[in-house]
Structure 1
Amino acid sequence: MYEGKYAILGTGALGGYYGAKLQKAGLDVHFLLRSDYEQVSQHGLIVESKDGDFTLPQVNAYDDVAKMPKCDVVVVALKTTQNHLLPQLLPPVVKDDGVVLVLQNGLGVEEEIADIVNQAHIIGGLCFLCSNKVGAGHIRHLDYGQITLGEYADGYAATGITERMQQIADDFQAAGITMELSTDLLLGRWKKLMWNIPYNGLSVVLNARTDELMADTYTRKLVEQLMCEVQAGAKSMGRTIGDRFFQTMLDYTVKMKPYRTSMKIDYDECRPLEVEAIVGNPLRKAQALGVDLPKISCLYHQLKFLDGRNRTIDS
């Protein structure tokens, strides 16, 4: 085991689930919370899971990073729409030569964090998790849970598998979480986008669950066309995603329990959407390299309109 302290920044559907699993396995975990702080500090965390329900009656809960100890591994599990908070959140809690583990969707997030904590090592984590927060400190894990880790280097150069990655993977595996180690974080990010761009985006634009998107001939074709453009985007940055992975993502989603994506949940609850990290950043990176992604561009502009209107209605 890494035998260090873990901090969870963002104790929601993702951070709450993984952090609770790590604590249950005996690791020293510290949770930053906002609206759920009073509930969790007094009553702990509840996890309903297909792998077995459990409760942690007591957790190390904080409402301010200044009160948290310096930690060896700081897990960023916030939505990317909150990344403007990271310059205030990260420096007080990351040990010198510590690790920031970025469990966020999209592309380019590690580059932002490298500008904030240049003394820390940064590892990206791609989570294949179906999980929702159903109440304060109450997480419902529906399916999957695997994480793929890759270490970040300037320009997303491939780093190989580092000792830090292996140590953290060992901790998560001891907690019952399936881990995969990637030698190339950028390739891993584009592979995750092959699912996130079509399913998160279309779930909002078409008001549909994943099973509905896959059951209809026309929407399934649209999913496949968007996936082809993700392949083209990855290729523009020197990364190749094979057709076999393309089919794996389709099969994976067909077998998935009917699922309302995280972006659809945010939209339904009038929260800001992760449009820029998931759709805008990959689109701009490909366009800067001379590659046009017309269907992704269309999806981006539709999502920006819906997100803007949703926030106006909410206000």
Structure 2
Amino acid sequence: MSNRSYGILGTGALGGYYGAKLQRAGLDVHFLLHSDYEHVCQHGLVVESPDGDFTLPRVNAYQDAAKMPPCDVVAIALKTTQNHLLPQMLHSVVKDDGVVLVLQNGLGVEAEVAEIVGSQRVIGGLCFLCSNKVGAGHIHHLDYGEIKLGEYTPDYSPGGITGRMRQIANDFENAGIPIQLAEDLLLARWQKLVWNIPYNGLSVVLNATTDELMADSHTCTLVKQLMDEVVAGAKACDRIIPDSFVQKMLDYTLKMKPYRTSMKIDYDEKRQMEVETMFGNPLRIAKAAGGNLSQITMLYQQLKFLDARNRHN
């Protein structure tokens, strides 16, 4: 049994699911909560999953990161729109020799965290998970669940596969969470955007779930065109994504259960959307490298308009 302790910053659809799985496997896990704090203190966490439902009647719950014990691994599962809170959270909750696991969407998110704790203490994590929070302390896992881990380096050069990546991977795998280890975090981030950019963006602009986007020939063509632009953005950054990967993402989504994306949920709940990390940052990075992503630029501008209007109505 591993003696590593885990801190989960953000106990929502993602952090709640992975943290609950880790605790269920016997690991020492500490959860930071906001609105669900009182409920989870009294009732614990409930996870519904096709892999088997379970309840954790008691969890280590905190409303203030300063009251959490220093942990060996701190997983950031907050929305990137909350990253302005990280400077006041991270210094107390991560051990001096601990690592921060950034389980967030988009591009450039590790660099923000590295400015707080140092680049040598940051690992990126890309979550391929269909999960929703359906009530206080209540997570509904629909499909998938794999995490891809990659070491962060200041210039996003390939960091290789390290011993600490393998240790964390072992903990997650023992908890029933599939893990892949990536030698090149930047390539892995661009690969994740192949799915995130078309489905998150179009789900908001067109008010559609993933299955609806895939059922229509016009939107299916648009999804493919946006994926191809992501591939072009990666190529501008000297990262090659093969056509077979694009096809794999399309095939996965066809088989996926009908899904309302995280960005669509944020929009529907009138919360700020992760437009900058998921769209703005990739566009700026690709442009600096000489890329021209015109369709993604149009989608980004539409989302900026919708986000501003949605939150001020």
* Same fold flag (TM > 0.5): yes
What is the distance in 1 between the residues matched to 2:282 and 2:200? 14
Q: Does the Cα contact within 8 Å between 2:111 and 2:119 map onto a contact in 1?
A: no
Q: Is structure 2 residue 128 aligned with structure 1 residue 128?
A: yes
Partner residue of 2:108? 108
What is the distance in 1 between the residues matched to 2:49 and 2:94? 30
User: Shift of residue 42 of structure 1?
Assistant: 1.3
Given the two structures, how large is their TM-score scaled by the length of structure 1? 0.98
Given the two structures, how large is their TM-score scaled by the length of structure 2? 0.99
Whichever residue aligns with residue 212 of structure 2, its letter is: E
Partner residue of 1:61? 61
Partner residue of 2:287? 287
How far does the alpha carbon of each residue in 1:261-315 deviate from its partner, in whole angstroms, 9 at most, with x for none? Answer: 00001000100000000011000111112211000000000000000000011xx
Q: Does the Cα contact within 8 Å between 1:210 and 1:260 map onto a contact in 2?
A: yes
Q: How does 1:29-108 map to 2 (within 5 A)?
A: 29-108=29-108
What is the distance in 2 between the residues matched to 1:72 and 1:37? 23
What is the distance in 2 between the residues matched to 1:2 and 1:227? 39
Partner residue of 1:186? 186
What is the distance in 2 between the residues matched to 1:30 and 1:235? 40
Q: How does 1:221-240 map to 2 (within 5 A)?
A: 221-240=221-240
Q: Does the Cα contact within 8 Å between 1:8 and 1:76 map onto a contact in 2?
A: yes
Q: Does the Cα contact within 8 Å between 1:152 and 1:159 map onto a contact in 2?
A: yes
Partner residue of 1:158? 158
Partner residue of 1:170? 170
What is the distance in 2 between the residues matched to 1:41 and 1:75? 20
User: Shift of residue 2 of structure 1?
Assistant: 4.3
SS at match of 2:155: helix
SS at match of 1:95: strand
Q: Does the Cα contact within 8 Å between 1:8 and 1:15 map onto a contact in 2?
A: yes
Q: Does the Cα contact within 8 Å between 1:98 and 1:120 map onto a contact in 2?
A: no
SS at match of 2:122: strand
Number of residues paired by the alignment? 313
Partner residue of 1:271? 271
Question: Which segments of structure 1 move beyond 4 Å, counting only runs of 4 or more?
Answer: none
What is the distance in 1 between the residues matched to 2:68 and 2:119? 19
RMSD, aligned α-carbons: 0.8
Q: Structure 1 unaligned runs (5+)? A: none
SS at match of 2:48: strand
SS at match of 1:156: coil
How far does the alpha carbon of each residue in 1:149-192 deviate from its partner, in whole angstroms, 9 at most, with x for none? Answer: 00101111101110010000000000001110000000000000
SS at match of 1:46: strand
